[in-house]
Every structure is written in structure tokens, then in C-alpha cells.
Amino acid sequence: MVSDSLVFELKRCLQRARLNPVRGMEAWIQDYVIADGPNLGLPFQFETQPITKLLIQEIDSRRWNEVFITGPSQSGKTLIGFVAPALYHTLELGETYVLGIPDMRMANNKWQMDLLPAIKANFRWERLLPLAGPGSQGGIVRDTITFRNGGVLKFMSANGSDQARAGFTSRVVGITEAARFSRVSDTSREADPLRQMRARQAAYDEPQRMLYVEGTVTVDEDLPWSAKADSSDSKIMSQCPHCGEWIAPERENLLGWNDAVNVFEAGLLARWFCYLCGEAINEEERRESVKNSVLAHVGQTVSKRGEVLGPMPQTNRLFFRYSGWHNLFVTTATLAKEEWRADQIDKETSDYENAQKELTQFKWAIPYKSNNLESQPLEKKDVIRRRTEAYPKGLLPAKTTHLALGCDVGKYALHYFVLAGLSNGMLHCPSYGIIDVPSAFLDWESAISHALNELFDLCEIGFAMQGQTEPRQVDQAWIDTGYEPDALFKAVIAHGGRPRRNSRYQLALGRGSGQMQRMYQAPPKRGGGIVEIGHHWHVVRNKRWKAFQVFADSDHWKDRLQDSFKQPKDQAGSITLHYAPEREFERLGKHLTNEHRKVEFVPGQGEKVKFEKKGVNHWLDAAYNSRACLDRLGWNPEAS
């Protein structure tokens, strides 16, 4: 028989459950009060940005446990992709929520600028703020906030050590500024940061997990765009007011502005055009169409009555993207004016490229595709195709005017790359290879000295030159000092004395995005130990060893080297390789393409170029040193 006390407790539990039902995000977000921008202080309304309702309904459907979100900047993307999920899971559901941010130094800023104002705008949420500790009374937040309902917000960074992301379990993970979570740091031995974040969910079965990833589109290879291929690849479809078909207009469907003579006329003339019937869609029609949009996943279609037809895709990943057409924060006229202004810039300049990047990434939420061949990534096949039957290994073309060698030093091997500068402005590699460093059998100083002596012999014996009876010695060799520099200085000094400004063997050091985050800075003038300044390189006098050392801009010279493989073969600046079977160039191709040029557009700063490492790159380091060395020797492809 059930006791009275048990019945009482059951009734009390049921009453409490009725008073505090767990709501879906669609119901919960209507308590949200906008904490910044033109709608400051107003309650959240789906009518303001209608496509947000489509996203939140998909989240509430529980069909997906991975949600990738991207759209134009300043369109509410941060709210629906980052702030709302974090607050919903912690304040409404009382869960632990791991929040991935690019850098831990941003934790307090994200809390103070994005999360805390939203909490304080709602008195029911404000009551859940901690009374003591991080997040209370305006205190600084470093990594963890525990709310009064038991919800926990844990910040983790893309740049931190692997240990910083380990040892913390959560069912739910959120990522903001997602591109930074695509990349493995030089010091990491684990997977990319996103995979490490997802590993925090390993204690939960896959259907129980939830992942939110929000960010601006940068390039194809970075999040969130890189998640598109294995996803729902959903499209927000709007009905054309003229033909009744369901369409998803893109940038190319905004027309009329390009016929304008000034920016004001561009705004007046601009219209959207249906790509099925060709009819113009004015601003009022566009807004009405967007308000009644539906979401179709890959393989699905929409009937004229607005019914989504077709099976659901076999994936648990929702890819939700909206564009300038769907963004009702910005009018057609404003978009057209921005397009017109960008189109007035000289198309041969970097300013034009920057303007186009800003539009594609921040207004249309698509990766920028440059028409410039040099901006495309170098591929292994591009390297292998450069071998030429005209020159076997070790033979220099008759037009050789300068000969350089670059060497990358490692614990067990020296990787070298020889580069000839020709009088017609072209480059040729007669030889590249590996010299063993016997560090497993000798102490380090003896081992590196033994290997360098073999390298010195190679430089001084030289290479056969077409039409000449005597071999051509290497004019100058740059030896990278990033690994164990003291032993390298000793070995070079022991061979030929302390390196002078014009010595055959120069000790070099690269600086750039792949060099422990130490970027190259060109000195403004000579003096203070700086004895020579060149094009993206300079020479200093090393006080400790009383010898000269070259510092090079590794990003610039890697860029120039990789570009030489993409230039047409007969064009100045292009490169050829000695002849050998294709298989012999497989490893070289991997090394030369294991760092990729990434160009990011930063508002107010313009284009930022950096190289990101994907694997071993020793021959790339050797090759860029030999290319920079040719520049110091005076070889210039433009002078041919």
C-alpha cells in the first residue's frame, strides 16, 4: 500500500513540473531581450529576421546533433548561433556547456560584451547569475562560470595546449568564430581543435550529443564551410511573386546597379531577379517572400503550394546558411550601393580583391574565389609536372647566371634544395636531396659537423653546366639555424672561418606565420648590428658568435616559390625540375605543398597572408631559402 507521505511527495513533484516545464528553444527565445544594436531593449521577434525561426525549429526537431551556422555579418548570426544556444542550455536546461573561442584572452570579453548583457536584460535570467566567484558582481571571467541553477559555462580555446582541452566532459559543445578551429597548431600532436572539442562529448552516446558551430565564411577548407559537403546542405527557399516557383537568389541575381552612373542611382535601379522566370522583384516583394520561406535539405524540392518534397538526407549534421537575399536587416538598395562602390575600384589592384573578399565573406556568406592564378593553392601534381627531359639530374642549363642552395636542418637529416637563376628570368632545380645526420651514433656536434661536411663537398664540387667543361660551384648556401644553432655556428666556423657578408656559407633564420608565430619585421635602416637590408631579408651581426646571420621573411619567399610552380613554364619566374621518373618527385611534391597560403580579410586592416602547415615541409623550407638566397645574389626574374 502506498503511504500518504509518498503520495504527497508525488503530488508536489507534479506541481513543480507543471510550474517549471522545460521549453524548446523556440518558446524560450521569446523571453530574450535584445541587448545591443538598433533594436536595443526590444523583445526578440522572429518577424525581424524570419529565417531565424527556420533554424530554431530545426534545432527543436532534434533531428540533428550537429548544427553549422553561417550568414552575413551583423545580421544576428552571433545571437542565434552563439549566444542563444549557450544561454538556453545553461539557464533553461541547467546543463554544462563547453564554449570554444579562438583565444582564452577573449573569454572575459565574450562574457562581458555578448553573454552578460543578454542575461541582465531579462530579470529571470539575471537571478541565476552566481553570487560569488567568476561571473559575479562584474568579476573577470577566465574560463568557468557556474550559475545558480547548476548550469556551467566552460570556455576553451583553439590556440591553447591539448591539455587545456582535455579532462572536461560535456554533452553540449558550442564554437564561435569557427575558422580558427579548423587548424592544427605546430605544437599540437592531436587532431584539429574542433575534433578535440568533440572529444569532450565521448562519455555520451552520439544521439545524445549536441554541437553548435557558428562563424563567418573564409575559405573552402575552413569551418563552417568545410562542413558543408557531409551535411544536410540546406537551402532557404522563397516563393517568386511572379511565377510562383521556389527560389534561393544569390549575388548574381541582384542586378541593375551596374548600369548606374553614381552610387545613389545604383540604389534606385537595383532589383532582384528570379532566375527561373526572369521577372524583377522589388524590395516589398522580396521581404514578403523571405517572411514565408521554407527550408529544403539536399535532394528535396518545394512544390508551388510550399510543401517540401523528398526524403530527409542520411546525416545528423545540419548546414544552415543564409545570404544577402534573406538578410532583412539590409535593404536591396544598400546591398547594391556596396556592390557599385566595390566595382569602381581598379580591378588590377589589391584594393579590388579586398573589396570583393569583404562582400563575399561578410555580405553573401560564400568563400571568395579569386581569378588570379597565383592565389590558388599549389598542388602536388603542379610540382611533378615541372620535370623536364632537357636536363637530367646534376646538369645546369647554359643560361645559368646564379646558383644557390638552401638547407633545412633536422635531428636526423639535412634536406637541401639547389636552385639556378637563368638569364631568361626562369628557375631550374638541378638537384635536391637528403644527407643523413648520424645523431643516433655520435654526439650532436659531431653528427651535424659530419653531415655539414658532406653538404660543403656538394657545394664545392659543384654541378656540370651545359656547354662548359668545368663544373659550376654553388655561389652561396643558406643553412637554416632554427634547430640547435650553436652547433651549426661551430661547424660552419670550423669549416671556413666566421661567416662574413659574402661568405659562401650563410647561417639563416626564417620568420613568419609558420615560425613559432614570430613574424618577420623588416628593419627601417642599417645600424645597431644590422649591416644589410634587402627585399624581405636582412643581415645582422650575431654578437655571440661574431658572425653574420641572414633573417628572411619565410611567408613572402614561400609565396614566391610556390607561385613559380603555378606560372606557365616558359614565363619569367617559372621553375623547372631535373628529369627523373614521376615517383621520385612524390615526396618532394608533398613537402612543397604541405604548407598552404591562406588569405584572410580583416575589416579595417585589409588582406592578411599566412602559411599553415599540414605535414612535413623540410624541402619547402630549404627551397624558400635558396630562392631568397638568389635574390641576395642579385638574380631578378623581372630583369630578363
Kindly report, residue by residue over 482-512, the tens digit of the pLDDT. Answer: 898 999 999 999 888 888 888 999 999 999 8
Q: Do domains 22-227 and 380-639 have the same CATH topology?
A: no
pLDDT at 603: 54
Under-70 pLDDT residues of the chain: 1-20, 159-167, 183-192, 370-376, 514-517, 599-610, 639-640
pLDDT at 158: 74
Q: What is the distance between the alpha carbons of residues 426 and 259, in angstroms, rounded to a whole number?
A: 44
* Residue 236 near residue 300 (C-beta atoms within 8 A): no
Largest Cα separation within the chain, whole Å, is: 111
Number of other CB atoms surrounding residue 442 within 10 Å: 14
pLDDT at 583: 86
pLDDT at 13: 59
pLDDT at 81: 96
Sketch the domain layout of the chain as residue ranges. Answer: 22-227, 235-368, 380-639
Q: For the domain with range 22-227, which CATH number is right: 3.40.50.150, 3.40.50.300, 3.40.50.11540, 3.40.1010.10?
A: 3.40.50.300
Q: What is the pTM of this model?
A: 0.62
pLDDT at 510: 92
Residue 576: which of 460, 362, 420, 455 has the closest Cα?
420
pLDDT at 508: 95
pLDDT at 186: 40
- Say how many residues make up the chain: 640
pLDDT at 4: 62
Using the structure block, give the residue that is written with the C-alpha cell 544577402.
324
CA dihedral angle for residue 59, residue 60, residue 64, residue 66, rounded to 10 degrees: 40
Q: What is the distance between the alpha carbons of residues 486 and 488, in angstroms, rounded to a whole number?
A: 5
Q: State whether residue 179 is helix, strand or coil.
A: helix
Determine the distance from the C-alpha atom of residue 468 to the mean position of all C-alpha atoms in its chain, rounded to a whole number: 49
Give residue 351's region: left, alpha or beta (phi > 0; psi -120 to 50).
Answer: alpha
Using the structure block, give the residue that is written with the C-alpha cell 574565389.
369
The CATH architecture assigned to 380-639 reads 2-Layer Sandwich (3.30)
* Four-residue CA torsion sign, 246, 252, 254, 255: negative
